Structure 1
Amino acid sequence: MGIVDKAKNAAEDAVGKAKEVIGDVTGNEDLEAEGKKDQGVSGAKKIGEDVKDVFEK
């Protein structure tokens, strides 16, 4: 996984966590769910990149 991809995934995960917390604090269930979704997408991308790295070596 390239450094740029790692940074993008980390940023997406951080934004997702922030959305989840803000949604929880404000009672905005849609924002909270969106944050959880963003974190899931970020995690899936990381797994995909990790698999790709294994096959490139």
Structure 2
Amino acid sequence: MKKIILLIFITLAIISFPATQNEIENDKKIIKSQTEFIIELFKSDSLNNYLKSYMNL
């Protein structure tokens, strides 16, 4: 869960800095890959099990 929050903050930090067009394109690729990673993480059984056990506490 901490990794997800960290990825979100990294993404926001990337977006917030002014950059050249080339850097913006690179940032878009990074953000897309991070978003895909987060989506896959939410699809994974390990995260679902973690969230279920967290909710049962």
TM-score by length of 1: 0.48
Higher relative contact order (CA 8 A, sep 6+): 1
The structure with the larger Rg is: 2
